[in-house]
Amino acid sequence: MKIKETDIAIVGAGAAGLTAAIEARRAGAQVLVLDENRLPGGQLFKQIHKFFGSHEHRAGTRGFQIGRDLLKEVEQSGAEVWLNTVVYGMEPDTSLGVIHEDQNTVIKAKKVIVATGAKENYMAFPGSTLPGVMGAGAAQTMINVNRVLPGERIVMVGSGNVGLIVSYQLMQAGAEVLAIVEGAPFIGGYGVHAGKIRRAGVPILVSHTVTRAIGTEQVEAVEIAEVDSKFRPIPGTEQVLEADTVCLAVGLNPMTELLWLTGCKFTFIPAFGGHVPMHDAHMETTVPGLYVAGDVTGVEEASSAMEEGRLAGISAAESLGLIPREEAKERRGEVIRRLNVLRSGAFGEGRRRSKEQQLKAMEAFQAEGDRT
């Protein structure tokens, strides 16, 4: 077994992990980024739509372009990036077990930043395990990264931004989207995305759900039905669509497995996708030297993840004595100001409240520790 030492190890080379690496390198830390995939960038290269937000968050630029620029910056920064590297475990002292180039290696880092992102939620209905039922993100990966169409006639479940955007991207890739079904009585995502879908002639059926996928070896048809105010299918409203694929866009949840292994403390915030690690304004968890950033701290979106990565990178470098306290504080303040812009407005406000709740949980935990 090999042992590798470094100043800061970062798990995940996505939006948050890469900005954390850039900030930590800028401060002069030795940085090692670990990722299971063959290419860095996380989910950014699947985002072929234009980003939202303010000018300083590069609104109007497509996600994959932001990803390319980020990769260039990481390359120039001199951070070491290990791809095709599985991080299979973490000890309470934050040492990491990894498989790199077929070799079991232990990474001993002074500080660890976990930026593992999120995974898609599942939804159970008769036939939901059939090949042809998949996550909307899975379909997005197939069309935009692997450039393979997962099916030709799609039913999308969920009208949040993921459901709307992936539907549009499936059409750009040449598929037909038969319908978007939404259990709630209203569309979940931005009006501008919903408008594009409707102008393309795709019905968005609110107060509707998938009741079953029909087929033996794979999806051959999909039954949908209207639901009442308690989300129960209304008998007699069933209709069968000749679809070969069902995409589920029913939310995401943070990939916290590594964090649980360390014994760090969690708090439960449904709007963030469930159990999320407690962390302070420096992104440090209840385990000293263990930081978190991006969707693993609660599901938001790529721009927020990139900002949180900067917070974690600055703070980890500061704790190593590489950035003076005042300077670190000032730079964090700048990032937090930009984060507050992202966490405002009709869609961002809920995320701001969730983040406050998470920070308060950490404060309460620390106060309790001080008393005992």
Partner 1 sequence: MRIIEHPILETLDTSRTVTIYYNDRPVEALEGEPVAAALMNAGIKAFRTTAKRKEPRGIFCAIGRCTDCKMTVDGVPNVRTCMCPVKEGMRVYHQDGNGTFEKKDRT
Q: Which residues bind partner 1 (CB under 8 A)?
A: 36-38, 48, 62, 64, 119-120, 122, 129-135, 137-139, 141-144, 146-150, 152, 172-174, 216-218, 255
Complex with partner 1: residue 210 or 328, whichever CB lies closer: 210
Rounded least distance, CB 116 to partner 1, Å: 10
Complex with partner 1: residue 36 or 280, whichever CB lies closer: 36
Amino acid in the structure at residue 196: K
Residue 29 burial by CB count (10 A; 0-12/13-18/19+): exposed, middle or buried? buried
Complex with partner 1: residue 91 or 152, whichever CB lies closer: 152
Contact indicator for 220, 127 with CB cutoff of 8 Å: no
Complex with partner 1: residue 99 or 336, whichever CB lies closer: 99
Amino acid in the structure at residue 207: S
Rounded least distance, CB 347 to partner 1, Å: 24
Rounded least distance, CB 1 to partner 1, Å: 22
Amino acid in the structure at residue 250: V
Buried b / exposed e along 125-134 (16+ C-beta atoms within 10 A): bebbebebbb
Residue 302's SS3 state is: helix
Distance of CA 14 to CAs 17, 90, 371, Å? 5, 19, 39
Name residue, tokens 């990032």: 335
Complex with partner 1: residue 233 or 254, whichever CB lies closer: 254
Rounded least distance, CB 124 to partner 1, Å: 12
- Identify which of 237, 316, 259 has the alpha carbon closest to the alpha carbon of residue 30: 316
Rounded least distance, CB 139 to partner 1, Å: 8
- Identify which of 182, 207, 210 has the alpha carbon closest to the alpha carbon of residue 194: 182
Contact indicator for 354, 298 with CB cutoff of 8 Å: yes
Complex with partner 1: residue 174 or 270, whichever CB lies closer: 174
One-character DSSP codes across 111-133: EEEE---EEE-----TTTTSTTE
Rounded least distance, CB 49 to partner 1, Å: 8
Rounded least distance, CB 271 to partner 1, Å: 22
